[in-house]
Amino acid sequence: MPIITLTTDFGASHYVGAVKGVIYSLCSKTQVVDITHKIQKFNIRQAAYVLHASAPYFPRGTIHLVVVDPGVGTERRGIVLKTRDHYYVGPDNGVFSFAEFEKAWEILLPSKSATFHGRDVFAPAAARLACGEAPENLGREIREIRRIKFSEAALKQDKISGEVIFADDFGSLITNIPRETINKAKIKPGAELSLKLKNRKHRIRFVETYGFAKKGELICLIGSSGFVEIAVNQGSAAKKLKAQGGEKVEIKIGA
Amino acid sequence: MPIITLTTDFGASHYVGAVKGVIYSLCSKTQVVDITHKIQKFNIRQAAYVLHASAPYFPRGTIHLVVVDPGVGTERRGIVLKTRDHYYVGPDNGVFSFAEFEKAWEILLPSKSATFHGRDVFAPAAARLACGEAPENLGREIREIRRIKFSEAALKQDKISGEVIFADDFGSLITNIPRETINKAKIKPGAELSLKLKNRKHRIRFVETYGFAKKGELICLIGSSGFVEIAVNQGSAAKKLKAQGGEKVEIKIGA
Amino acid sequence: MPIITLTTDFGASHYVGAVKGVIYSLCSKTQVVDITHKIQKFNIRQAAYVLHASAPYFPRGTIHLVVVDPGVGTERRGIVLKTRDHYYVGPDNGVFSFAEFEKAWEILLPSKSATFHGRDVFAPAAARLACGEAPENLGREIREIRRIKFSEAALKQDKISGEVIFADDFGSLITNIPRETINKAKIKPGAELSLKLKNRKHRIRFVETYGFAKKGELICLIGSSGFVEIAVNQGSAAKKLKAQGGEKVEIKIGA
């Protein structure tokens, strides 16, 4: 029983139901699993990250369907990617920036609407893959896909430069600074650091996990995907620092 | 494996879990599929539309369970409808206004609560249908159900009159103006139109899809259910025009 | 096919997907059922109540996974409980305050992160139980778990004292006053009562169900879990009374 996961910015409306209905109508033996329908509207960067942080945990053969699609109906392509373990189906707008694919196809299926390829193109493509059809039948092979540039964090002397990718639902600011950079900088749990964000400086403590901080304390830590996140214990760093994604950050050892 | 879909205004609380638990306890082989739990509280019109726009995509034999039920525990009836392909189960308050049923039954099952027929009456009814029980066993046949009046759009000379049914989660205003009316009025993609809404006039462009508009531009187009929607590209028409459903609209050719 | 239910405060982010992916990877024959991912962040009391009000409706053998876990990575334990019909898996912080367990185990599984035991510890534990592994294999038996004190309602002469547990998604205030106390006080549908909350007095009518009140009327009734709830017909008592949980309430017969 192959799984089809859904990651969309549909929120509350009827679009989720139509996509699920199409899938089950075309491939009744599949199981649709919601990742989230609450991607911020049109936030392709967030969709790419959410997919990156959850898709790999699914079993071999899972098909990941993503519909965050501000360019629907224009000349932007629909694509299918085959990675080592999974398929990815959705618009070629950067939502699959993190996917290391072995093969890729442009989907060439007709759509009865110009505004809802999630229902009319991507859901049928995913369902047909789930029921065993070859991706070759859905379109023509391509070599390249569109990727968003996620800037890389840098360590110079005692200063780490990076950026906030997005704020998660707890208000924690997920950055692009990997665990390895923290290790190279020899920052250890308990270290007092200085954070520069939006031209303001903040004292911040590096901890192992939220529970080691006082309630309301500004902290940073290695998040569950291996990147630094800036957080407030039982609060929201996004609110406290008025950040939401895209901001440059500098972290320095010493207060 | 028959599917039971859920469309409710339960939002975040425990009511969703209780309904699912009852269903799986009574019919373990069914699969419960969430359409949405985010219908605006008590918004029967929105529930009717959401169901109309997603239910038909599900496979033959699907049972659609709707719990938007401000009249629970009063004399309003619970009903089962059989359409050509599906069953519908829920309160007889207008949520099934769009359903063309072949047969209908009033549910006559006892309820242990006066406030939660979703759990105590509708979930058991849906589960029993899913496991093959005849609807005749759930109550007595009826001839009529309650339907909400959705006003019909009209075209007079160069003016289309209609109304906003509701705002979807993107803030697009779904109207009751069908594609046919646009065709009759000979409005073509690219046409400049004049929109009157809440006693204000707006210039608005008719386009094929969102991506053909500038970011922030006010546009209208044929939405994925075949009705005109008023939208802002990558923004919210509901916010921009301060509309949320029920408003009269007039669309005229020419700016 | 055993069910694993999910009750979390993850909201919109990628954490839900990672947990589901881990479960399906370890036990493909299980079915994951969302109860809610919208527990108020870190609200252990609400999680305990939501679980109490929905978990019992699920079939025998269901495994209830709860991740509301502000103490993740600290010395708080992860636990598995076996009740008569179900398993419960999650942090030992009070979320299982209502569970009457027959046996309990501290989970002793390694975690690759310090911040996401939902993915790294609880999801694997639940999946292994779903696929038939004995709880003894997951850790060591324990005798006691942590329970939150929910104060008990009291009836003295004509006055009932209790407290608001939390506000549900409709804005209804769920109290700890059971049906039995209302019966003992001989309060009947239609009775005019006096409610004291946050040092203000309100006239309030006791009714059988919402639909028997005027739109906007402040009422109280026996909710679907057998406890008194304070509600506004088609409105929000939480907004009207500015209450959200934890407030003391006094209900008196007579206006």
**pLDDT score recorded for residue C255:** 65
**Residue B89's closest CA among B125, B45, B139, B137?**
B125
Q: Which residue of C has its CA nearest to A11?
A: C12
**Residue B81's closest CA among B21, B24, B16, B138?**
B138
**Residue at B213: amino acid letter:** A
- Residue ranges in A13-122 assigned as alpha helix (H): 15-26, 44-54, 117
Query: How many whole angstroms separate alpha carbon A118 and alpha carbon A109?
Result: 12
What is the residue-wise DSSP string for chain B? --EEEEEES-TTSTHHHHHHHHHHHH-TT-EEEEEES-SPTT-HHHHHHHHHHHGGGSPTT-EEEEE--TTTTSSPPEEEEE-SS-EEEEESSSTTTT---SEEEEE----S-SS-HIIIIIHHHHHHHHTT--GGGGEEEES----PPPPPPEEETTEEEEEEEEE-TTS-EEEEEEHHHHHHTT--TT-EEEEEETTEEEEEEE-SSGGGS-TT-EEEEE-TTSEEEEEETTB-HHHHHT--SS-EEEEEE--
Chain A residue numbers with beta carbons less than 8 Å from the beta carbon of B234 are 41-42, 70
Q: Is C84 left (phi over 0), alpha (psi -120 to 50) or beta?
A: alpha
Q: Strand ranges (DSSP E) for C198-234?
A: 200-206, 218-222, 227-232
* Total residues belonging to chain C: 255
**Residue of B13, B25, B34 lying closest to C169 (CB–CB):** B13
| Interface contact flag, B11 C38, Cβ < 8 Å | yes
Q: Which two tokens stand for residue A156?
A: 């110079």
Residues B34-52 have pLDDT tens digits of 999 989 899 998 899 899 9
Is residue C223 helix, strand or coil? coil
Read off the pLDDT of each residue in A11-34 and give the average, rounded to a whole number.
93
**Residue C194's closest CA among C159, C226, C228, C164?**
C159
**Residue at B219: amino acid letter:** I
Query: How many whole angstroms separate alpha carbon A56 and alpha carbon A62?
Result: 9
| Interface contact flag, A70 B211, Cβ < 8 Å | yes
**Which residues fall within 8 angstroms of residue A190, CB to CB, at 6 or more apart?**
A205, A206, A207
Residues C128-152 have pLDDT tens digits of 999 999 999 999 999 999 999 888 9
**Which residues fall within 8 angstroms of residue A213, CB to CB, at 6 or more apart?**
A205, A207, A219, A233
**Neighbour tally for C207: CB within 10 Å:** 22
Count of CA atoms in the C-beta half-sphere (13 A) of B41: 13
Chain C residue numbers with beta carbons less than 8 Å from the beta carbon of A234 are 41-42, 70
**Which residues fall within 8 angstroms of residue B29, CB to CB, at 6 or more apart?**
B1, B2, B130, B131
Residue B174: burial class (beta carbons within 10 Å; 0-12, 13-18, 19+): buried
Chain B residue numbers with beta carbons less than 8 Å from the beta carbon of C61 are none
Residues C153-203 have pLDDT tens digits of 999 989 999 999 889 999 999 999 999 999 999 999 999 999 999 999 999
Query: How many whole angstroms separate alpha carbon C243 and alpha carbon A42?
Result: 35
Which backbone phi and psi does A211 adopt, to 5 degrees?
-65, -10
Partners for C (CB, 8 Å, 3+ pairs)? Answer: A, B
**pLDDT score recorded for residue B255:** 64
Can you list the residues of chain C whose pLDDT is less than 50? none
| Contact status, residue B97 vs residue B165, Cβ threshold 8 Å | no
Q: Which residue of C has its CA nearest to B37?
A: C36
Q: Which two tokens stand for residue B153?
A: 């759009």
| Contact status, residue B227 vs residue B175, Cβ threshold 8 Å | yes
Backbone Cα Rg of chain C? 20
C37, C52, C166, C224: which to substitute to probe chain B, counting the most B Cβ within 10 Å?
A: C224
Report ipTM for this prediction.
Answer: 0.92
Angle of CA points A179, A180, A182, to nearest 5°: 65
Q: Which two tokens stand for residue A176?
A: 């692009």
Q: Which two tokens stand for residue A61?
A: 């053969």
Query: How many whole angstroms separate alpha carbon C181 and alpha carbon C185?
Result: 6
pTM beyond 0.90, yes or no = yes
| Contact status, residue A11 vs residue B11, Cβ threshold 8 Å | no
For residue B13, is pLDDT > 80?
no
Which strands form B63-67's sheet, in the order they lie side by side? B31-36, B3-8, B63-67, B87-91, B78-82, B103-107, B139-142
State the count of interchain CB pairs (< 8 A) between B and C: 108
| Interface contact flag, A224 C12, Cβ < 8 Å | no
**pLDDT score recorded for residue C253:** 86
Read off the pLDDT of each residue in A127-152 and give the average, rounded to a whole number.
95
| Contact status, residue A7 vs residue C15, Cβ threshold 8 Å | no
Query: How many whole angstroms separate alpha carbon C41 and alpha carbon C47?
Result: 10
| Contact status, residue A190 vs residue A239, Cβ threshold 8 Å | no
Q: Which residue of B has its CA nearest to A10?
A: B169
- Residue ranges in chain C assigned as alpha helix (H): 15-26, 44-54, 117, 123-130, 179-184, 237-241
**pLDDT score recorded for residue A254:** 78
| Contact status, residue C74 vs residue A212, Cβ threshold 8 Å | yes
Question: Cα separations (Å) of C80 from B145, C86, C145, C242?
Answer: 49, 10, 10, 37
Query: How many whole angstroms separate alpha carbon B245 and alpha carbon C226?
Result: 36
**Closest approach of C173 to chain A, Cα-based (Å):** 24
| Contact status, residue C17 vs residue A47, Cβ threshold 8 Å | no
C21-56 in b/e form (b: 16+ CB < 10 A) is bbbbbbbbebbbbbbbbbbbbbbbbbbbbbbbbbbb
* Total residues belonging to chain A: 255
Instruction: Look over chain A and give the mean of its residue pLDDT values, rounded to a whole number.
Output: 94
Query: How many whole angstroms separate alpha carbon A42 and alpha carbon A166?
Result: 13
| Contact status, residue B154 vs residue B178, Cβ threshold 8 Å | no
**Which residues fall within 8 angstroms of residue B75, CB to CB, at 6 or more apart?**
none
A8, A9, A13: which to substitute to probe chain B, counting the most B Cβ within 10 Å?
A: A13
* CA terminus-to-terminus distance, chain A: 54
B32, B45, B169: which to substitute to probe chain A, counting the most A Cβ within 10 Å?
A: B169
Query: How many whole angstroms separate alpha carbon B126 and alpha carbon B22?
Result: 10
DSSP state for residue A233 in the 8-state scheme = T
| Interface contact flag, C24 A59, Cβ < 8 Å | yes
Residues B147-193 have pLDDT tens digits of 998 889 999 989 999 999 889 989 999 999 999 999 999 999 999 99
Chain A residue numbers with beta carbons less than 8 Å from the beta carbon of C18 are 53-54, 57, 224
**Which residues fall within 8 angstroms of residue C166, CB to CB, at 6 or more apart?**
C40, C43, C45, C46, C49, C173, C174, C244, C245
Chain C residue numbers with beta carbons less than 8 Å from the beta carbon of A39 are 12
| Contact status, residue C139 vs residue C109, Cβ threshold 8 Å | yes
**Closest approach of A117 to chain B, Cα-based (Å):** 9
Query: How many whole angstroms separate alpha carbon B179 and alpha carbon B187?
Result: 10
For residue B82, is pLDDT > 80?
yes
Q: Which residue of A has its CA nearest to C33?
A: A33
Chain C residue numbers with beta carbons less than 8 Å from the beta carbon of A11 are none
Which backbone phi and psi does C88 adopt, to 5 degrees?
-125, 135
**Neighbour tally for B198: CB within 10 Å:** 11
Question: Cα separations (Å) of A177 from A248, C12, C119, C120?
Answer: 11, 22, 21, 22
Q: Is B162 left (phi over 0), alpha (psi -120 to 50) or beta?
A: beta
